[in-house]
Homo-oligomer: A and B are copies of this chain.
Amino acid sequence: EWKGAPKIATSDGWSFKPRGRLQFDAGFIDAFDSERVADGFANEVRRARLGVEGTMPGGFGYKFEVDFAGADAQITDGILTYKSGDVKLTAGQHNNFQGLDELTSSLSNSFMERAAFTDAFGFERRVGLSAQYEAGIVLVQGGLFTDNFEDLPNGNWGADGRVVVMPKFGNAQLHFGASVHYTDIAQDSDVNSVRYRQRPMVHFTGTRFVDTGALLALAETGYGLEAAAIAGPFHVASEASWQRTDRIADFADPTFFGAYVEAGYFLTRGDRRGYKPGVFDRVKPENPVGEGGIGAIQVNVRYDYLDLVDAGISGGTQNGYEISLIWTPTAWTRLMLDYGHIEYDGAVYPNPAGSRSYAVDAFGMRAQVDF
């Protein structure tokens, strides 16, 4: 069986499949001339991952993937699982149920980068222990987590939970979710600070126009709401996320906020976004390249809001307007064009006129293969 790469499996529970993905990004940022702002053309290897996944008799399984795109090799998912009936236990480094856009694979997102709040609020994989219950249209996920493996050991710990209801009406797939997150930040650690910031829609720049700076903190509490629908060639999705920070001593505790709403449409007949419990899945073109077709072509628009101003913290706000054009020649290859117009208020870097309210335009393209 081929799923990008061969999946070798037996009837008594053994399976093994290599995994990998390559994403190459290039594009432009159109901001203003400043020594502190990266402007113009840039490109990068966005993700370059190799890994494996498999199952074993007795209900056990594993997934282990490493990303080589940065300066160091980084473990992304590194998990041991046990499945019994509707319940699945997971130990190791994995996502802590942050929300629809974060949990949907970077192979299947509708824009090159996820909504602004997902990076801004520090969503990342963490080492922990979780349980998932899935039955019919209900998915319940919860776990105890520490921190990303690179930051261990540091004494941080947290608890996360998420509930999704995913009814179908005819061919329409609906998705409603809510999640809650708590992280306790160890005070005897060298780093007991948090920082919320975000790039302008593309990853190949190091400039963050919104940025709270480092805040010494005792704990973080997050809430998320999700809604989405897939109906034939259409899809809509929206999330809202609140992140409250308990600062040390008598400092006021800010609550930051992010939200997006997006809609998409396939221009090619018969194509639709994939869905699997709790997340969007890959697009499998009805008429792929190589079988006489041209693949799937999809247009998406998104409004992406982020507010990092509260309780005396002035990290800035953004109103982002984005459009993407995605060509999916086959289920395992993808080309994307993204354009974003991001309006900032109270940005970190003043423009030459001395104003902190201005717009930045970003244009990106991506070539992607996975297996």
**A: which residues have CB within 8 A of B?**
2, 4-6, 8, 10, 13-14, 16, 18, 20, 22, 24, 26, 38, 40-45, 48, 50-52, 54, 56-60, 62, 64, 66, 68-69, 71-75, 78-80, 91-93, 127, 146, 149-150, 152-153, 155, 157, 204-205, 288-291, 329-330, 332-333, 367-369, 371
Contacts and interface: CB of A to CB of B under 8 A. Distances in A.
Nearest to A38: B153
Given A43-B127, A44-B153, A91 B24 contact: yes
Nearest to A332: B56
B371 A43 contact: no
A52 B52 contact: no
A371 B155 CA distance: 31
Contact of A73 (B42, B52, B68): B68
Contacts of A290: 13, 56-60
A22 B78 contact: yes
Contacts of A329: 58, 60
Contact of A58 (B5, B24, B56, B288): B288
A2 B40 CA distance: 47
Contact of A59 (B2, B45, B289): B289
Given A20-B62, A52-B371, 14 more contacts: A2-B10, A41-B157, A44-B153, A45-B92, A48-B64, A50-B52, A50-B66, A56-B371, A57-B288, A58-B290, A58-B330, A62-B369, A68-B73, A72-B72
Nearest to A41: B155
**Top 8 closest A-B pairs, CB basis?**
A58-B290, A42-B153, A58-B289, A73-B73, A57-B290, A45-B149, A80-B369, A91-B367
Contacts of A22: 62, 64, 78-80, 92
B71 A150 contact: yes
B43 A146 contact: yes
Given A45-B149, A69-B149, A153-B42, A60 B369 contact: yes
A290 B56 CA distance: 9
Contact of A71 (B51, B72, B91, B289): B72
A60 B332 contact: yes
A28 B20 CA distance: 36
A156 to B, nearest CB: 10
Contacts of A45: 75, 78, 92-93, 127, 149, 152
A71 B4 CA distance: 30
Contacts of A127: 24, 43-45
A57 B92 CA distance: 35
A164 to B, nearest CB: 26
A68 B149 CA distance: 10
